[in-house]
Amino acid sequence: MFIATLIAAGRLGDDDLARAIDVAGGGEARWIDEGDAADLLLGPIEDWRDLRDRLEAALPGVDVIVQKVEDREKRLFVADMDSTMIGQECIDELADFAGKKAEISAVTERAMQGEMDFAEALHARVAELNGLGVGAIERCRTERVTHNEGARTLVQTMRARGAATLLVTGGFHDFADPLAAELGFEEVRANYLESIHGHLTGRVTGAIVDSSAKRQALIARRDEKGISPGAVLAVGDGANDGPMIEEAGLGVSYRGKPKLEAMADARLRHNDLTALLWAQGIPKAEWVSGPAPESTAGAGAPHRPSLPRHA
């Protein structure tokens, strides 16, 4: 059995539901939150992706998520950071403090479009930060980085309902650790910027968190918790999120690049991140939006490996 969730916060009407039933060739419509989100209960479907595409075409401005009824409410949430949980690409904003935003942003875009190997792009961009004072990192984080709408409510609500949460990013712990503490993620996977004498060296240390590492982090957390593959929700925006998105029971592209949209189960193009709560059948009355739950991801000054002073 399948269910199609139609989401258009403040804009969904009875006419939209009737049109969806017509496109699907039948089904029973039920409101999750009237005017915001509704479910279309369906029978077996031969090609659910085709139905999703036809519903999206018939309902402009409506996000459509088609999935099996089983494992609808997820027990593990895995999210990318840059341009997903936050509205920026941190390395691009940090590059602005070095006067190199335009050239680094161009490399970032190629990597996110899948036109350039991620590790190669990461090393090339970080090299341009050589000599930048580490104080610019905190300034960048506090002055430039903003949560995407709905991010905190999404994470907190899933935590409150017992789901495990993992922030996994090709970005850096300097940004990811404080963000995880603010939003309520339990665990972080990210890269480390190297510094010496208070300045970045233009290098990263340790294994690179690339597309393969993101997928492996999801699998490791899923298996550690004994969670079935179908009960995993993952969201990202770039081509490097692809393997992680494909591994999840429900893989979502959030304002994603074309290569990611092509492989994702669902595409959030119109609504904020709270749409992923409606996708799980959770009404607004059950959302949590208070202080972030205690996080084991680490807060305060992040760990940044440095070279020995007399190296």
Domains along the chain?
1-70 (3.30.70.260), 71-311 (3.40.50.1000)
Mean pLDDT estimate for the chain: 92
The secondary structure of residue 106, as a DSSP letter, is H
At 172 the three-state DSSP class reads strand
What would the pLDDT profile of 109-130 be if each residue is shown by its tens digit? 999 999 999 999 999 999 999 9
Q: CA-CA-CA-CA torsion for 123, 125, 128, 134, nearest 10 degrees? A: -90
Whole-number pLDDT of residue 289: 81
Q: Which tens digit of pLDDT belongs to each residue from 127-172?
A: 999 999 999 999 999 999 999 999 999 999 999 999 999 999 999 9
Q: In Å, how far are 41, 92, 156, 193, 225 from 70, measured between CA atoms?
A: 13, 40, 23, 42, 19
Q: Per-residue DSSP letters for 178-221? A: HHHHHHT-SEEEEEEEEEETTEEEEEEESS---HHHHHHHHHHH
Residues acting as catalytic residues: 80, 82
List pLDDT tens digits, range 223-242: 999 999 999 999 999 999 99
Count each helix (H run) and each strand (E run) in the chain, helices first: 12, 11
Query: How far is it, in rounded angstroms, from Cα 207 to Cα 214?
Result: 12
Q: Are strands 76-79 and 28-33 parallel, antiparallel or unpaired?
A: unpaired
The model's pLDDT over 273-292, given as tens digits with 9 standing for 90+, comes to 999 999 999 999 999 986 54
